[in-house]
Structure 1
């Protein structure tokens, strides 16, 4: 049973990643009105959330790169992987939810952890489940210690909303862990949320990949096949 659960979990998360940012944005769009109401300033929250979702088409862009003769190389962006969204004691609801939307929009599996806002996390998760996001893709983990969660296997990145000391403490803990390098994506400006408005913000939740196809082997340039004769 455990093996089957893990297998299905991976499949569901992979399906979410492969869905594409534009399609993921359509899911999240439906949740914005209710999520915004949780923040205490729905108008400002909607502006922020829509700003993030409006970037979806660019996240799906594929760039054709110059390569060797007889092959094509396409550069694209994809999710980095397992992502934890943490809200510190000083974090506002809007900052936490902004990080959550960014992590989901970019196709990641997300673990939400904000012990000081336990009810908000549960309500946000319920809203997102209701619009079709699987509990395999999004889970709430407020019943565990932050330090314990930071040692989760293959944790790709941690999006932290909080003050400088909270961010530094989490960064230091991650630096002491073994395994893959875990990136920290901080938001400390609780008023202006300026970090979320930078051009590269969403790209921090993603990584670059290249698809290389041997076009000669599939008949893309038949004249090259004659060079050896």
Structure 2
């Protein structure tokens, strides 16, 4: 079993460093995980490939916004923090759903704590992770029952794979938490796997940020600051 005691501080530190890593480097590290899993878990390999390809179109580029006074405004994305991926059920489709959320969370810039009792899934994934070029502590594993303890920490995203009834209880629990709002991504239809097939899944694990750079001496277009001229 790969279940272990989780140190949230390690997951948080791993997120801080990973979040500063450029998109191409994150993708390259995740591709190393994908290639290792291809040898033993080809279905999981395919899931990783799909979401890396979709995220490339969504997250790789910084978007230039209008700068009305001469400044440069950029819109980019960042990870939200530590994501808890909770897997209630043990089945092939549950593994696919979990892998989709794990991949989307990681490529978006988060670290992940995986709460699952599916021994086959966690052992194979952990073995591949240890051989990959992904940073230490970026992925951590613990038992399904430990998710309540994980949620007591400052997680910023939660992925759920399981029943609708338990998902409702989890959603209510997250709504009553103090502190930052936690986003919940749920896969409860393990036949259709609508969430796992969502090409925009990575967007559910990001936060948007803007960067403004003043490129003129007074912090903008000086002509717009003139008073009393004929042009203004």
What TM-score range do you get, normalising by the shorter chain? 0.7 to 0.9
Alignment of 1:80-229 (within 5 A): 80-89=80-89, 92-115=94-117, 117-142=118-143, 145-152=146-153, 154-217=154-217, 224=223, 227=226
Shift in CA distance, 162/35, structure 1 to aligned 2, threshold 3 Å: farther
Q: Which runs of 5+ in 1 are unaligned?
A: none
The TM-score normalised by the length of structure 2 is 0.80
Q: Which runs of 5+ in 2 are unaligned?
A: 1-7, 228-232
CA distance in 2, matches of 1:167, 1:90: 16
Q: CA deviation at 1:11?
A: 5.2
The TM-score normalised by the length of structure 1 is 0.81
2:196 counterpart SS class: helix
Q: For residues 209-229 of structure 1, what are the alpha-carbon distances to aligned partners after superposition, in whole Å with 9 as ceiling and x for unaligned?
A: 0001111138986x659958x
Shift in CA distance, 179/219, structure 1 to aligned 2, threshold 3 Å: closer
Q: CA deviation at 1:80?
A: 1.1
Q: For residues 196-219 of structure 1, what are the alpha-carbon distances to aligned partners after superposition, in whole Å with 9 as ceiling and x for unaligned?
A: 323431100101100011111389
Shift in CA distance, 215/189, structure 1 to aligned 2, threshold 3 Å: same
How many residue pairs get aligned? The number is 217
CA contact (8 A) 1:147 1:173 kept: no
The higher-RCO structure (CA 8 Å, 6+ apart) is: 2
CA RMSD of superposed structures (Å): 2.8
**Structure 1 counterpart of 2:74:** 74
CA distance in 1, matches of 2:218, 2:82: 36
Q: CA deviation at 1:133?
A: 1.6
Greater displacement, 89-98 / 206-215? 89-98
